[in-house]
């Protein structure tokens, strides 16, 4: 069931094949496929498509707003899960209504809402906005109406998975697979929309563009690879979700979108092209191995109904090697974002998401080291730190993935909605509360569990309440994240109606002219009028190869 070496080779082969085919074009076949794809997105849906709005940007807006609502659900259930972890009878009163969830159940439900609801929806909404810009696609997204419409089945899919996290068989049937199928349907439509965007491009996708499109292709590529090596039985298993929407979809696209946001938001070019290349190649080669060992973040969601199959020793060795190697792209991503945002020498702005991008980039390397250090014994078959892995996965989610998605959302919000956030002060308070609450709260919980492990391994009769105290303090601090998310959600929703309307010129995502050739004396006013800004490089005509040509304005 897992990706072994053979599957990984096929997976990489499919990605390389896709890259070559899309770079060279499909010729006549492409001319046939393009209108067919558009027909599938628009006309084939019949009257259903008329329910959706088709204005430019409406698809991206629908996805990021719905995602924000899921974020609120996610933090509430995660907090309750964390609390019930140290106080198992805290919600016993709800048993009168037939609801008596355990801590892992609540955390799983929160993770579903956070991962597939918030991060997934922000990724897709942002991609709808960013990919047409990177590809220079005329007219933007090919089908805004379909993009808007499919946010509904995706939300329904997340809702089903959310219920399944509590009870996977409420009516005697496994609804996990139903949720995955509904989400896969929406994902298919999103993919076709993005592929048409790529097909209609007028330029090769700019730097993080390939990483973004490969992130969307990786899921189907992974399915093809696993189907070839393991047979088509995979398609009827809940583990399908870890293939279709797993590490490549989340990590690669978050990396690509955060690089884009860092460059445009700080008004600086990407710091290093080498690091961007390292990130692209490194992530593709190394992080696809993450799902070959266990689902990590994803395994908790579905282990209730599906046992995790074991992997062979060779797969384990190969995967461990690749995971160790994955530190390189992680450092590349972190350094490139921090270098880009700090290029101007200014402190990163909180209100446009730059500060939270820098914070989560710094957290990335620390989290990688934590994950590697505590997961290594499990890979080797020892369960030494197994009780800590749940908290470390929570840290990965709440200190890297979700803040990154929040940063991307904060940066793209004005461009997508054509309005600014109404309260910068609320954003600043939310940022500090979120960062403090998630980091301090989760570290306290990690300390609490470490004390528990130490005392249990020493096998001493040590009746200490220290661990409980850390757990309580950690939960209370973590509640700050709930307040921060409430502030964020209200801000995002109010911005749709009360945010200052942005002028097209002030929110353009496309950088102004990079260089300006000076052939004769010219005023600064003329240069600015030509579209230059403070970052435009002025090149005297003697440094160019244009022999005495007039200045092109």
Partner 1 sequence: MANSDPSVDVFMQANAEPKSSWLLLVLGFIIVLLSLTIHSIVFPGQNLPVISDLETFGSLQGQVWIFILGMLVGTMMILSTLLTEVTRE
Chain residues in the site for partner 1 (CB under 8 A): 69, 72, 76, 79-80, 83-84, 87, 89-94, 96-97, 479, 482-483, 486, 489-490, 493-494, 496-498
In whole angstroms, the minimum distance from the beta carbon of 481 to partner 1 comes to: 12
The three-state secondary structure class of 455 is helix
Q: Minimum distance between the CB of residue 275 and partner 1, rounded to whole angstroms?
A: 39
Phi/psi zone of residue 536: left (φ > 0), alpha (ψ -120 to 50 degrees), beta?
A: beta
Beta carbon nearer to partner 1, 378 or 436: 436
Q: List alpha helices for 25-102, DSSP H.
A: 28-41, 58-86
Residue-wise over 333-346: b if at least 16 C-beta within 10 A, else e?
bbbbbbbbbbbeee
CB closer to partner 1, 325 vs 486: 486
In the complex, what is the shortest distance from the CB of residue 87 to partner 1, in angstroms, rounded to a whole number? 6
Provide, rounded to whole angstroms, the least separation between the CB of residue 68 and partner 1: 9
What minimum distance in Å lies between the beta carbon of 33 and partner 1? 40
Q: Between 58-86 and 103-112, two packed helices, what is the crossing angle to 10 degrees?
A: 170
Q: Name the minimum Å distance from CB 57 to partner 1.
A: 19
CA distances from 392 to 119, 330, 536 (A): 18, 17, 44
Closer to partner 1 at the Cβ: 385 or 479? 479
Question: Would you give the distance in Å from CA 439 to the centre of its chain?
Answer: 19
Q: How far is the CB of 489 from partner 1 (least distance, A)?
A: 6
Radius of gyration of the chain from Cα atoms? 24
Nearer to partner 1, 71 or 246 (CB): 71
Pick the closer one to partner 1 by CB: 84 or 133: 84
Whose CA is closest to 5, among 377, 297, 311? 311
**Positions of E strands within 336-468:** none
Task: For residue 115, give the DSSP letter.
Answer: I
**Alpha carbon separation from 384 to 179, 341, 376, 389 (Å, rounded):** 34, 39, 10, 10
Name the phi and psi angles at 419, rounded to 5.
-140, 155
Cα-flanking dihedrals φ and ψ of residue 537, to 5°?
-85, 125
Pick between residue 89 and residue 171 the one whose CB is nearest to partner 1.
89
Instruction: Tell me whether residue 191 or residue 486 sits nearer to partner 1 (CB atom).
Output: 486
Decide: 134 and 33 in contact? Cβ < 8 Å. no
Smallest gap, in angstroms, from Cβ of residue 17 to partner 1? 46
User: What's the rounded Cα separation, in Å, for the pair 395 and 389?
Assistant: 10
Nearer to partner 1, 97 or 171 (CB): 97
- Pick between residue 307 and residue 501 the one whose CB is nearest to partner 1: 501
Residues 6 or more apart in contact with residue 263 via CB below 8 angstroms: 269, 270, 340
Contacts of 390 (CB under 8 A, 6+ apart): 104, 107, 300
**Rounded CA separation 132/37 (Å):** 17
- The dihedral built from the CA positions of residue 279, 280, 284 and 288, taken in this order, carries a sign that is positive
Tokens describing residue 256: 């690509």
* Alpha-carbon gap, residue 507 to 510, rounded angstroms: 9
Residue placing its CB nearer to partner 1 in the complex, 112 or 217: 112
Q: Which is nearer to partner 1, 483 or 518 (CB)?
A: 483
Least distance from partner 1 to the Cβ atom of residue 497, Å: 4
CB of 119 to partner 1, least distance (A): 19
Q: How far is the CB of 47 from partner 1 (least distance, A)?
A: 24
For residues 447 and 493, which CB has a smaller minimum distance to partner 1 in the complex?
493
The DSSP result for 361-377, as a single string, is HHHHHHHHHHHHHHHHH
Q: How far is the CB of 97 from partner 1 (least distance, A)?
A: 6
């Amino acid at each position: 069931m897992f990706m072994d070496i053979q599957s990984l080779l096929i997976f990489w082969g499919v990605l390389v094949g896709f890259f070559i085919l899309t770079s060279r074009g499909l010729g006549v076949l492409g001319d046939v496929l393009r209108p067919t794809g558009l027909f599938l997105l628009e006309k084939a849906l019949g009257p259903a498509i008329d329910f959706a709005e088709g204005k430019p940007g409406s698809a991206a807006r629908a996805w990021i707003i719905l995602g924000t609502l899921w974020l609120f659900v996610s933090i509430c259930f995660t907090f309750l899960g964390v609390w019930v972890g140290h106080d198992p009878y805290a919600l016993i009163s709800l048993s009168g209504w037939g609801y008596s969830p355990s801590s892992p159940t609540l955390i799983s439900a929160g993770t579903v809402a956070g991962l597939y609801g918030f991060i997934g929806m922000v990724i897709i909404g942002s991609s709808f906005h960013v990919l047409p810009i990177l590809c220079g696609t005329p007219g933007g997204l090919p089908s805004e109406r379909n993009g808007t419409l499919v946010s509904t089945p995706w939300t329904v899919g997340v809702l089903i998975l959310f219920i399944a996290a509590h009870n996977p068989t409420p009516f005697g049937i496994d609804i996990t697979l139903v949720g995955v199928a509904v989400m896969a349907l929406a994902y298919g439509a999103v993919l076709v929309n993005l592929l048409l965007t790529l097909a209609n491009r007028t330029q090769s996708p700019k730097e993080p563009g390939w990483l973004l499109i490969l992130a969307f292709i990786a899921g189907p590529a992974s399915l093809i690879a696993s189907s070839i090596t393991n047979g088509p039985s995979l398609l009827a298993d809940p583990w399908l979700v870890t293939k279709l929407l797993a590490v490549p979809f989340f990590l690669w696209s978050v990396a690509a979108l955060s690089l884009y946001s860092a460059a445009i938001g700080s008004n600086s070019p990407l710091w290093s092209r080498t690091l961007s290349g390292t990130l692209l190649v490194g992530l593709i080669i190394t992080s696809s191995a993450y799902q070959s060992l266990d689902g990590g973040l994803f395994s908790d969601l579905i282990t209730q109904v599906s046992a995790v199959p074991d992997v062979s020793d060779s797969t384990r060795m190969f995967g461990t090697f690749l995971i160790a190697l994955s530190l390189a792209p992680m450092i590349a991503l972190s350094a490139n974002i921090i270098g880009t945002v700090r290029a101007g020498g200014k402190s990163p702005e909180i209100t446009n998401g730059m500060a939270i991008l820098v914070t989560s980039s710094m957290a990335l390397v620390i989290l990688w080291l934590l994950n590697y250090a505590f997961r290594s014994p499990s890979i080797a078959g020892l369960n030494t730190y197994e009780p800590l892995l749940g908290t470390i996965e929570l840290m990965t989610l709440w200190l890297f993935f979700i803040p990154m998605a929040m940063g991307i959302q904060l940066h793209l919000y004005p461009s997508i909605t054509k309005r600014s956030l109404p309260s910068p002060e609320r954003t600043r308070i939310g940022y500090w509360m979120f960062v403090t609450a998630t980091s301090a709260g989760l570290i306290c919980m990690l300390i609490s569990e470490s004390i528990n492990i130490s005392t249990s391994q020493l096998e001493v009769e040590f009746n200490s309440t220290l661990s409980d105290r850390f757990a309580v303090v950690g939960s209370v601090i973590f509640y700050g994240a709930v307040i921060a998310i409430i502030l964020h959600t209200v801000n995002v929703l109010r911005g749709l109606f009360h945010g200052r309307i942005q002028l097209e010129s002030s929110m353009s995502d496309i950088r102004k002219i990079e260089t300006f050739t000076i052939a004769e004396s010219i005023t600064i006013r003329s240069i600015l009028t030509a579209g230059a800004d403070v970052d435009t490089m002025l090149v005297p005509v003697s440094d160019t190869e244009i022999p005495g040509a007039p200045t092109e304005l």
